[in-house]
Amino acid sequence: MFAQDSWKVTPRLTVNAGLRWDYTDAPGIANDRDNVAPRLGLAFTPSIDGATTLRGSYGLFYDEMLFIVSSNALRAANVTQTLFANPGYPDPFGVNPRRTGSIAVAIPSTTLLAADMQTPVTEQASVGTRHLRGRLALTADLVWARGRHLLRSFDLNYPDLDTPSRPRPDPTMQRVLVRESKGHSWYRGLQVGLQKRHSVRHAYGISYTLSSTDRDTEDTDFLAQDQRNYAAERGPASSDARHRLSASSSVDLPLGLRLATLLTARSGLPYNVTTGADNNGDLATTDRPFGVSRNSARGSGAWQLDGRVSRIVGIGRRRIEVLVEVFNVTNQPNWAVFDGVVTNATFGKPTSSGEPRQVQVGARFDF
């Protein structure tokens, strides 16, 4: 349920306010009734000509708990995973000529869902300005966001890492993974932009973002290097591109043709450096070299140019638009997914890339 309205308090001050309420009743999150999200926005024009506007906003924004996360965890709670070394066939306990001695059965593991799951929420605030000069519009905004109740995992049967034998609280089980919602995120950004409205057969826009995004989790399966110290997992998010640039243009060409372009560029994304081994004996290969923080390395930057040429033909009240679109015009190899395992021969090198050049031709009929 939500309600919102806009009030022009004075000719120069406008207030936008709203309130939203979400109710969730799903596996793992029973009767979650406290998701109340207020929103407030202010816009003030200090000058009579209205060329400059000062604006600010604040709000809470609740996400949805993915049903697949809770349902998978609930199904996994009814399953115990075991490992048979050299099992027989069709009877796992039967004869296997490659096995010597009695069959070895590993201690089982399982997965649970935390009893205190909460809906992920982000608290957001911004302050900025917009200035008009002729057909040009210049904007600048400072944006802040704080995320809470993000998904992560922890081992309920975590071993005692201070004891050489690494004993677990329940010796009859190995890892007992619990999906929980106790992760956090932090975002700070400066966003500036310049827009030119269509005139003299062209329009364009340029925007730049300088930002920093930190997280102490990445996804549902995220495990800490040492879950006794989740604070040590705070580091750059995997999507943390400090610099982002976007430039677009639209030009009217002869013969009724229109050319549109889009250039996007970003700085390198971080990736985690690990040893590739279970150094602390907790059955997770998330261990990092001593003194190395999470997501401390960065890959290469990326950029891509897209283009589109179209022409509209009118047939009475109907229109046919014929278009040619080219993605990654220069066939730029944007390397991705860098190998962070220090013992690998490919350490520090990319293992994949973005999409190559793609061309598509289409027609759209409007009636």
Whole-number pLDDT of residue 69: 78
For tokens 């996360």, the residue is: 69
pLDDT for residue 106: 76
Query: What's the pLDDT at 204?
Result: 98
3-state secondary structure (DSSP) of residue 12 = coil
Residue 211 in any domain: the answer is no
pTM of the model: 0.87
The answer to whether residue 80 sits within a structural domain is: yes
Q: What is the pLDDT of residue 89?
A: 83
Query: Which pLDDT score, from 0 to 100, does residue 197 have?
Result: 95
DSSP string, 246-302: EEEEEEEPGGGEEEEEEEEEE-PPEE--B-SS-TTSSS------TTPPTT-EE---E
Among the listed residues 109, 32, 110, 26, the one whose alpha carbon sits nearest the alpha carbon of residue 68: 26
Structural domain containing residue 88? 66-112
- Residue ranges of the chain with per-residue pLDDT less than 50: none
State the total domains in the chain: 1
Q: What is the sign, positive or negative, of the torsion defined by CA atoms of 110, 114, 117, 123?
A: negative
Does residue 86 fall inside a structural domain? yes
Whether 84 is in a domain gets the answer yes
Q: How far apart are CA 208 and CA 116, in angstroms?
A: 40
Q: What is the pLDDT of residues 63-94, one digit of tens each?
A: 987 777 778 777 877 777 777 778 888 888 88
Nearest to 121 by CA among 71, 54, 60, 59: 60
Domain assignment present for residue 334? The answer is no
Does 76 reside within a domain?
A: yes
Q: Write down the pLDDT at residue 286.
A: 87
Check residue 174 and give its pLDDT.
87
What's the confidence (pLDDT) of residue 28?
72
75 DSSP 8-state letter:
H
Rounded distance between C-alpha atoms, residue 165 and residue 287, angstroms: 18
> Would you say residue 87 lies in a domain?
yes
Three-state DSSP class for residue 160: coil
Helix (H) or strand (E) holding 76: helix 67-76
Within a domain: 79: yes
The reported pLDDT for the residue numbered 70 is: 77
